[in-house]
Amino acid sequence: MKSVPRHVAIIMDGNGRWAKARGFPRIKGHEQGAQAARECVEGCGELKIEYLTLYAFSAENWQRPKSEVFALMRLLEKFLKEKTPELVEKNVRLQAIGRLTDLPGTCQEQLHKTIEQTAGNNGLTLILALSYGGRLEIIDGIKSLLRAVELGHIDKAMIDVEMFSKHLYTRYYPDPDLLIRTSGEMRLSNFLLWQLSYTEMYVTPKLWPDFTKKDLFAAVEEYGRRQRRYGAVE
Ligand code: FPP
């Protein structure tokens, strides 16, 4: 492939619809979605993509029925526990962004365990967005900047795009080059609002549980054909 994105971000949409079409409970769609996520991580490793951010649970997802939220949290915990050896073996480093302290205690513990156990890996960085909201992140960033001003660490005249970026959850990662959204919806859904300013978008009608490595490769190939101008001419 001629031009591979450094950072791919994915809105994994359509688990519920996938399950409904088969007469399964919604959680079955999420379970199948977790398998698709696993395959996608593998595909990113093969393409030597450096960062993959998955929108696994939004700040708004807490409003879903309690039973679905509970099942999703359990699935996340189980998935992390089961997949940690594979992440280590495949040299994947796990990270997470969002209001992580909102997650159930056992889920937080497992998350931090996996982060610790994969911290030395230097292949793909897999970033899970959990209890994540783009507007909340910007608010948290503003609070963090204000604190730095109050403490006299920075002068407000110094605030610019680069400095603000350093106060976001994503401060350690480059902005995504490619955003993939499944199930045909043309929305950002409060995902990485600041970071996606110049990101190339790729929307596929496929539902997330049906998204395969081949679909990932097709998205990356399409990205390679795009010309990025960042608002300038040629
Ligand atoms: C969107 O489908 C998906 C989610 C809200 C959760 C995503 C979670 C997973 C793929 C499983 C866990 C992931 C990891 C990485 C362990 P939806 O429920 O909104 O589908 P619908 O729009 O068809 O109802």
What is the residue type of 22? R
* Three-class DSSP category at 206: coil
- Mutate which of 8, 10, 12, 28 for ligand 1? The one with the most ligand atoms within 8 Å of its CB, which is 12
pLDDT 10s digits, 44-55: 999 999 999 999
Q: Which domain holds residue 185?
A: 7-133+176-224
Residue 212 structure tokens: 């395969």
What is the residue type of 192? L
Beta bridge partners of 8: 52, 178
H runs (alpha helix) in the chain: 15-21, 26-47, 66-89, 105-117, 134-150, 161-165, 213-225
The CATH number assigned to the domain holding 117 equals 3.40.1180.10
* Three-class DSSP category at 101: helix
pTM: 0.96
Beta bridge partners of 97: 129
The answer to whether residue 42 is domain-embedded is yes
Query: How many angstroms does the Cα of residue 69 sit away from the middle of ligand 1?
Result: 11
The answer to whether residue 22 is domain-embedded is yes
Residue 231 has pLDDT above 90, yes or no: no
Active site residues: 13, 61
Mean of pLDDT values over 122-151? 98
The answer to whether residue 162 is domain-embedded is no
* Three-class DSSP category at 6: coil
pLDDT 10s digits, 149-173: 999 999 999 999 999 999 999 999 9
- Mutate which of 8, 11, 15 for ligand 1? The one with the most ligand atoms within 8 Å of its CB, which is 15
The answer to whether residue 185 is domain-embedded is yes
DSSP code of residue 194: T
Total domains in the chain come to 1
2 falls in which pLDDT band (50, 70, 90)? low
- The residue nearest atom 13 of ligand 1, judged by CA position, is 34
